[in-house]
Structure 1
Amino acid sequence: MHTKSLKLTRNNLIRRLIPILLLAAVLCQMIPAAKAYADAGVQQDSKVLLIYSTESGMVTESVRLLDLLLGQFSRSIVIKEDDEVTSSDLQGITHLAYYGGTPKTLSPEIVRWITEFQGPVLAVGANAEQLHSRFSFMTVGSDVYINRISKTDASTGEPVYQLLETNYPITQVTLSRGKALFNGLRGDDAFPLFVQYENSAYYAADNFYVPFDRFLSRGLTDLFGKQLMEDGHTAYIRLEDVHPMSDPKLLQQTGDYLADKGIPFMIALIPIYTNPETMQQVHLSDSPAIVEVLRHLQARGASILLHGYTHQYRASETGEGFEFWDVINNTPIWGPSDQDTKVKKRYEFSSKEEYDRYMQQLQAFEKQYIDNRIVSGIQELTDLGLYPLGFEAPHYVMSQTGYEIVSHYFNYLLGQVQISNSNWENMGESPYMSTPSFLHGMTLLPETVGYYDDTSFTPETDFDRKIEGMQFIEGSMMGMFYHPYLGLEKLQAFISHMERVPNLKWLDLKQMNASVQAPNITITTDAEGQIHYVNTAPRSEAKQVVKTLKKLGGVQLIMWGVAFLVAVMVLMFFLYTISMRMNLRKQLFEERNISG
């Protein structure tokens, strides 16, 4: 009777536990998904030859800026100094651009190739008068200074104006045919800024920085025949400088606010926080609360960005330092952070070969430094169930070599770009997405309207002014960022100003075919916004268990913990019943022997 009772109790307990264990397993596998909208659009089939004339014969900051602006309309750009161009360089070219960065006499071949080119041609800066047979619709004069820009509003047919911060020089152009998309103004006098006749265009400013980059870019949309969102704009927002010591409550409040409003957003994430006084490092894995919030927001639609590895190089605080540029020497990272690497000049070497070997050693150090940090960052994030879809250089600062290295890992770059290899302060941006040649296949999602500047007396007025500047050209991208430590109230004000922009479309990086590659790791997204992650690295069972536990959220961890405890209790119950049965048999056997 006693044995039968134990058996029935055990069977009833098992029948009750099985549904609970199955339900726990199913719940733990449920992953929420988020959907949003956006699309990327750089023309795939256009091929551009950019011919330049500069005083040094080398690629300058202006050439790179022009590369950046042309990259908004073509993924294939070849850049050649005018003396180096051959007829074969024009084979397969659909668009030709000439930049006169310095006055010089062009060779007859260059003049003929440009003037006789069958496709669209853009000329910028000096030497346009030598291309007269193609640009006979205009006459070039001396420089004039302007302080306003005007254009015709497409919907009303009335002129609209943008005031410049200072007087800027442009080349005076007189048109006999064609149209001026933009005019520069000085008093009552108007001077054509971007002019076009048939498939030939001329830009009268030798200035590609903000705001002149916008006027040239808008003109290029017509030359390339690109369709714009004429009745609206695209926008994106990043939650900036999130690291292991960030406040998880403020991060969740700001992220949930955006998700609740249906706004896709990005999180610029730094895997390691470095204390500048003790140099002690705190990894994300040391901050489970912030990791849980990050996974929660990723599930709600956030796109994670790798924002450096430590966001600092020397003894500076994470979020403040320049990780991929030595600002003390104003050079790329060419030596260890605990050493003051003074770069030698060419005259300090007896031969060019010796100097070249020296520079190769410095560049090899930079490559290894960047490779290690990018790979470590990707690995640490994915080990925690966080999947970076793009890269943002700390303070947007990185050498040209650095961009090439990063392009091996990411296909999207966020922010602005450094256009100089000798001065980190020379930065550029584009009003539309761009894939310039110096990014080696990466697409730039530009930051164009800045951030909520808590140090300003008029942060919202400043922000409105930047928005108005971008609204001056059709279909522009309004990229911005916000620091979660400023709290929810200021973010709400920030977003309220953006919501005044008519027909605003928020960009979702997850739906833009993001691709991330690292050793043994592949991360991709599709048009539906689904993230696909593959890790082919062999792992030990113990290490895999640890990684799996780290990826589980708080609720999932508790549920699996309960399931584990129940399983242990069931096992103990089985062992107990077996022990009882053996003891019972032993007692019966002993009683039988005593009874004889």
Structure 2
Amino acid sequence: MAEALLCMVIGINYRENETGEGFEYWDVKYDRPVYQENEEPVFFREDFESDEEFQEYVKKGLQFERDYIQSTVEQGVDELLEQKLYPLAFEAPHYTMSSTGYKELANYFSTYVGQIQISDETYQATFPPLFESTPSYLGGMTLLPETLGYVDGSNLDSYKNIVKKAEEVSSFSDSYLSFFYHPYLGIELLKETIEEMKAYDEYEWVDLKEMSNKVEVQDVVITSEDGRISVERSLVENIVHKLGTMWWFIIPVIVFLIAIVSMKKKR
């Protein structure tokens, strides 16, 4: 059983290097899925002589999207595990991801947190259901909805919109009251928002550890249930992990052995 902090994965690299505000899984400049690297040329239907050629381009783009999601998810989970942080769910930055992306993501995560993008044509179409659900659109992932939005860093009074929205959402049974908060905004505004939420004392906090979650990336499987987190590694991954945690011991030993060999040669 893993005794450490749990967390969620919320992307790895903002494509336009806008830390905290950027997009990762949607090409916001051209309002379409991520079909290519930033520095690569962008093509549209008018750049092709036939629909067949364009569809072939889109097909390759969708494969790039799947590969991109796989690589960033693997990197993100790996970096968190190195810090003894155990991700149990995923949320895409700015709630943006195509239907193809959600289905690829479902290969690694059983739980998605946040709002979902409901169109492959534009990112400006997101939807937060009020209740926990398992929509087929997410490829089988369980959705824990973000029903109240987020505190906008450019308008610190936006937390009042969250409070107002909570009044509406709380009128529905079994609804979630949840919002996103950027840590760089500081702790005081978060405290103020939480204080307002205390009015809804009939609600209980959601603890991901108490829920059934599964994250499977490469040779590592992370599961949670009934307050416990379990991390299972393949034999090879386990050896690599142990070697990585013992570097402080292994390096001096290697240096010592090299020194002994060197001394023998001099004799």
Normalised TM-score (structure 2) = 0.84
Deviation at 1:465, TM superposition (A): 0.9
Letter in 1 for 2:15: Y
2:45 maps to 344
Alignment of 1:400-415 (within 5 A): 400-415=99-114
After superposition, the C-alpha distances for 1:476-524 in whole angstroms (9 at most, x for unaligned) are 1111122223333222211111111131211111111110011111000
- The structure 2 residue matched to 1:496, chosen from 188, 195, 214, is 195
1:313 maps to 15
In structure 1, what is the Cα distance between the partners aligned to 2:214 and 2:238? Answer: 27
Deviation at 1:426, TM superposition (A): 0.9
Alignment of 1:327-366 (within 5 A): 327-345=28-46, 348-350=48-50, 352=52, 354-366=53-65
Letter in 2 for 1:437: S
2:254 maps to none
Identical pairs, percent: 34
In structure 1, what is the Cα distance between the partners aligned to 2:69 and 2:240? Answer: 30
Structure 1's 499 and 344: CA in aligned 2 closer, same or farther, altered over 3 A?
A: same
Letter in 2 for 1:307: I
1:425 maps to 124
3-state secondary structure, aligned to 1:321: coil
In structure 2, what is the Cα distance between the partners aligned to 1:326 and 1:409? Answer: 22
Deviation at 1:451, TM superposition (A): 3.0
Structure 1's 467 and 329: CA in aligned 2 closer, same or farther, altered over 3 A?
A: same
1:524 maps to 223
Structure 1's 466 and 361: CA in aligned 2 closer, same or farther, altered over 3 A?
A: same
Alignment of 1:49-68 (within 5 A): none
Deviation at 1:548, TM superposition (A): 5.0
Deviation at 1:350, TM superposition (A): 3.6
Deviation at 1:539, TM superposition (A): 5.4
Corresponding position: 1:326 with 2:10: no
3-state secondary structure, aligned to 2:55: helix
Alignment of 1:228-307 (within 5 A): 298=5, 303-307=6-10
CA contact (8 A) 2:23 2:93 kept: yes
1:434 maps to 133
In structure 1, what is the Cα distance between the partners aligned to 2:77 and 2:41? Answer: 29
CA contact (8 A) 1:329 1:342 kept: no
In structure 2, what is the Cα distance between the partners aligned to 1:548 and 1:504? Answer: 45
3-state secondary structure, aligned to 1:503: coil
In structure 2, what is the Cα distance between the partners aligned to 1:366 and 1:499? Answer: 41
Determine which structure has the larger strand proportion and give its number: 1
Deviation at 1:543, TM superposition (A): 6.6
In structure 1, what is the Cα distance between the partners aligned to 2:160 and 2:21? Answer: 26
Letter in 2 for 1:381: L
In structure 2, what is the Cα distance between the partners aligned to 1:355 and 1:548? Answer: 52
Alignment of 1:352-391 (within 5 A): 352=52, 354-391=53-90
CA contact (8 A) 2:150 2:159 kept: no
Structure 1's 480 and 348: CA in aligned 2 closer, same or farther, altered over 3 A?
A: same
- Structure 1 or 2, whichever has the larger Rg, is 1
CA contact (8 A) 1:445 1:479 kept: no
In structure 2, what is the Cα distance between the partners aligned to 1:463 and 1:351? Answer: 45
In structure 2, what is the Cα distance between the partners aligned to 1:421 and 1:351? Answer: 18
Corresponding position: 1:473 with 2:187: no
In structure 1, what is the Cα distance between the partners aligned to 2:76 and 2:127? Answer: 26
2:204 maps to 505
1:13 maps to none
Structure 1's 423 and 480: CA in aligned 2 closer, same or farther, altered over 3 A?
A: same
In structure 2, what is the Cα distance between the partners aligned to 1:374 and 1:497? Answer: 35
In structure 2, what is the Cα distance between the partners aligned to 1:472 and 1:365? Answer: 43
After superposition, the C-alpha distances for 1:310-341 in whole angstroms (9 at most, x for unaligned) are 2x113x22322211111111111111111241
Structure 1's 364 and 388: CA in aligned 2 closer, same or farther, altered over 3 A?
A: same
Letter in 2 for 1:514: N
Alignment of 1:388-403 (within 5 A): 388-403=87-102
Deviation at 1:542, TM superposition (A): 7.9
Alignment of 1:134-173 (within 5 A): none
Deviation at 1:535, TM superposition (A): 1.3
Question: Alignment RMSD, CA only?
Answer: 2.6
Count of residues paired in the alignment: 250
3-state secondary structure, aligned to 2:113: strand
Letter in 2 for 1:331: R
1:191 maps to none
Structure 1's 333 and 343: CA in aligned 2 closer, same or farther, altered over 3 A?
A: same
3-state secondary structure, aligned to 1:538: helix
- The structure 2 residue matched to 1:538, chosen from 236, 244, 264, is 236
Corresponding position: 1:547 with 2:249: no
In structure 2, what is the Cα distance between the partners aligned to 1:456 and 1:355? Answer: 42
Gaps of 5+ in 2: 250-267
Letter in 2 for 1:525: S
Deviation at 1:419, TM superposition (A): 0.8
1:448 maps to 147
CA contact (8 A) 1:396 1:418 kept: yes
Deviation at 1:351, TM superposition (A): 5.7
